[in-house]
Structure formats: structure tokens, C-alpha cells
């Protein structure tokens, strides 16, 4: 029997938490991932407050409505999650998946005086001219105004490098968003390693970087396949994620 949109999103999102924990991309019992389940994007699934990514099951995910202000007072809803994810889902219906993390290498790049990802290889070039930057970190984000500000900063881009903080990636589906935040972390790991040599980088030309970025945009099925492979690994390791 075919799964409903919500059932499939629950499984895919639960798998994404497990994958990110497996890869060490989580932060303590913080950080949030959400996925829209209604056509207008306003009804969305999100992780409950302070539960470790590696233990989240499909049934643990909270179903919230971005228009329902009472959600802010739900005991299992983290205030920062509501202020950011609630506003993104309310304002950006195309954001079917919203992933917010503080992965080490991406966050290190976000902490530079001028956060940027110069194109030096295939991974970094994927993000050429395609990252929005937030340089206005002002402490833990727990107001709707802060979420609205971040949504506006994204504009028509899908990645927001959050200065002094971390990263947010939005996607057309959970699989593509997962692969995108994973590849960005990989790109930043390569970049930080290259910078750490103290030697000059060979930056790709704008033409080659743009061509490479477009090449990536033509293979969203690669991203979804990466996710499906990782999802199967997680299910084989612990089928409780399907519960
Ligand atoms: Zn954060």
C-alpha cells in the first residue's frame, strides 16, 4: 500500500536524523530538521525538543501548523525551532525540507570575517554564487522576527551560511536537501584543509565554476540516490526508525 505524503516524510526525516548523527553532523540535542507535508507548505514535521538525533523515530516527529501560534507553547517544541522553521514554512512554500545544523567545517567557514566558499574543486564549485550570507548573528534566535529575517535573506537561494552560527539548507525534497548540506560540509572540509596548508589556492575561473554548479543542478537524482542509499543503511542498522 502506498504511503501518504506525511507517512513518507516521517520515514525520510527520521532517517535523515539518524544519518546526520551517524556522520557526526549533529550538535548535542540541539538543531532541527523539518519537512512540509501540505501543498501550501504550512503544515510541517519537526523533531521534538532535546531528543538525540540517533534515537528519533518516525512517530516522534511533531506535526505543526505554521499559522497556529499556539504551537510556540507546545512543551515539546523548541522556541528557536518554532521561530526559524515556522517562519520559513510560512513564507516559503517551495521549502519542502528545511535543515539547520552547526557542522564543524561549514560553521568554521561561517565564522570567518568574510564567510565565503571559493570554488576550488567540484564540491565547492557546486555553491558558486549560490549561497546567501547572514552576518547579523545576535544570539539564540527565538523570535518570529528573526525567522522572518532569515527567510527574507534566503531570497531565491537554497543555502544560508549563518555567520558565527551554522548553516540552513532548504530543498525541494528531503533527499536533495540532505545531499546538499552533506556536500556543503564536505566542500568546507576540503576548503579548510586547503587553507590550512598556508599555500595559495588555485581558484577556478568563474566560467568553470558556473559550468560545474550547473552540472550539479542537472543531477538531482544523484542527490536522491545518495539519500536513499544512506537511508537503507540506517534502516538495516536499526529498523526502529520506522516505528
Ligand atoms: Zn543553530
Asked whether the CA dihedral 91, 152, 144, 79 is positive or negative, the reply is positive
Q: Could you tell me whether strands 43-46 and 62-65 are parallel, antiparallel, or unpaired per DSSP bridges? A: antiparallel
CA dihedral 163, 167, 170, 173 (to 10 degrees): 170
| pLDDT digits 0-9 by tens, 67-122 | 998 887 889 999 888 989 999 999 999 999 999 999 999 999 999 999 999 999 99
- pLDDT reported for residue 1: 76
- pLDDT reported for residue 38: 97
The residue range of the domain holding 153 is 5-242
Indicate the burial class of 198 (C-beta count within 10 angstroms; 0-12, 13-18, 19 or more): exposed
Count: domains in the chain: 1
Q: Is 30 helix (H, G, I), strand (E, B) or coil?
A: coil
* 104/196 Cα distance (integer angstroms): 15
Centroid of ligand 1 to alpha carbon of 105 (angstroms):
14
Which residues surround the ion ligand 1 when the cut-off is CB under 5 Å? 166
Centroid of ligand 1 to alpha carbon of 226 (angstroms):
25
Count Cβ atoms below 10 Å from residue 197 Cβ, excluding itself: 8
CA distances 86 to 30, 35, 47, 213, 224, Å, are 16, 11, 13, 30, 25
- pTM for the structure as a whole: 0.96
CA distances 191 to 56, 81, 125, 207, Å, are 32, 29, 11, 20
Centroid of ligand 1 to alpha carbon of 166 (angstroms):
6
What does the pLDDT average to over 31-56?
A: 97
Residue 57 binned pLDDT confidence (cut-offs 50, 70, 90)? very high
Centroid of ligand 1 to alpha carbon of 103 (angstroms):
10
Q: Strands, DSSP E only, in the chain?
A: 32-36, 43-46, 62-65, 97-101, 131-134, 159-162, 166-171
pLDDT above 90 as % of the chain: 87
62 - beta bridge partners?
A: 46
Cell of 129: 554564487
Q: Is 143 helix (H, G, I), strand (E, B) or coil?
A: coil
Q: What is the CATH number of the domain that holds 140?
A: 3.40.225.10
- pLDDT reported for residue 37: 98
Amino acid at each position: 500500500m502506498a504511503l501518504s505524503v506525511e507517512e513518507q516524510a516521517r520515514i525520510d526525516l527520521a532517517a535523515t536524523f539518524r544519518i546526520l548523527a551517524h556522520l557526526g553532523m549533529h550538535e548535542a540535542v540541539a538543531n532541527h530538521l523539518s519537512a512540509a507535508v501540505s501543498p501550501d507548505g504550512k503544515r510541517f514535521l519537526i523533531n521534538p525538543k532535546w531528543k538525540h538525533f540517533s534515537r528519533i523515530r518516525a512517530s516522534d516527529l511533531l506535526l505543526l501548523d505554521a499559522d497556529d501560534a499556539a504551537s510556540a507553547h507546545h512543551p515539546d517544541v523548541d522556541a528557536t525551532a518554532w521561530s526559524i522553521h515556522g517562519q520559513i514554512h510560512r513564507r516559503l512554500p517551495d521549502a519542502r525540507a528545511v535543515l539547520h545544523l552547526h557542522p564543524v567545517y561549514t560553521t568554521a567557514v561561517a565564522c570567518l570575517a568574510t564567510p565565503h566558499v571559493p570554488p576550488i574543486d567540484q564540491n565547492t564549485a557546486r555553491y558558486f554564487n549560490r549561497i546567501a550570507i547572514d552576518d547579523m548573528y545576535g544570539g539564540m534566535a527565538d523570535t518570529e522576527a528573526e525567522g522572518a529575517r532569515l527567510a527574507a535573506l534566503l531570497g531565491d537561494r537554497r543555502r544560508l551560511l549563518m555567520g558565527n552560527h551554522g548553516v540552513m539548507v532548504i530543498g525541494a525534497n528531503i533527499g536533495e536537501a540532505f545531499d546538499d548540506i552533506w556536500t556543503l560540509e564536505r566542500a568546507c572540509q576540503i576548503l579548510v584543509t586547503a587553507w590550512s596548508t598556508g599555500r595559495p589556492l588555485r581558484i577556478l575561473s568563474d566560467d568553470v565554476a558556473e559550468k560545474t554548479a550547473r552540472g550539479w543542478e542537472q543531477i538531482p537524482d544523484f542527490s536522491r540516490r545518495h539519500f536513499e542509499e544512506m537511508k537503507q543503511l540506517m534502516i538495516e542498522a536499526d529498523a526502529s526508525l520506522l516505528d
